[in-house]
Structure 1
């Protein structure tokens, strides 16, 4: 949930048109995700609500499933309700590497 992931999430939340349903970051603890999203050093303090609740990141009342998988093929994106996946690490640069298969 690095810089780009947080910016995409912030833009989605502020647009009100895209619902973020899941985030994967195997390296960052949920409470630190809350802190980093709430207190962005570049874009300022997030004016909505941000908290950790029942193992999920909750932004403005929207509960976001958190995965901590090093191998993205283990992530059940569809089970989390994802229709689109944003890969923002720069590591998993193909759908195959990202472990994403699109429905036929």
Structure 2
């Protein structure tokens, strides 16, 4: 997930952090999702637990603006 967040396709959309964070740290963040590397873990039988944070107002609004810009091209 860390590598994916660094790709040109997902840069600015998917974030990744290994800093200890709380929900108030995400307020105003434009990423659609920020993967919490400290809380994400591989479980048994090929399962994974992924904890991801997002600002449901600002992140969503940013994606709407991205879509509008693509439509105008």
TM-score scaled by length of structure 1: 0.23
TM-score under structure 2 normalisation? 0.27
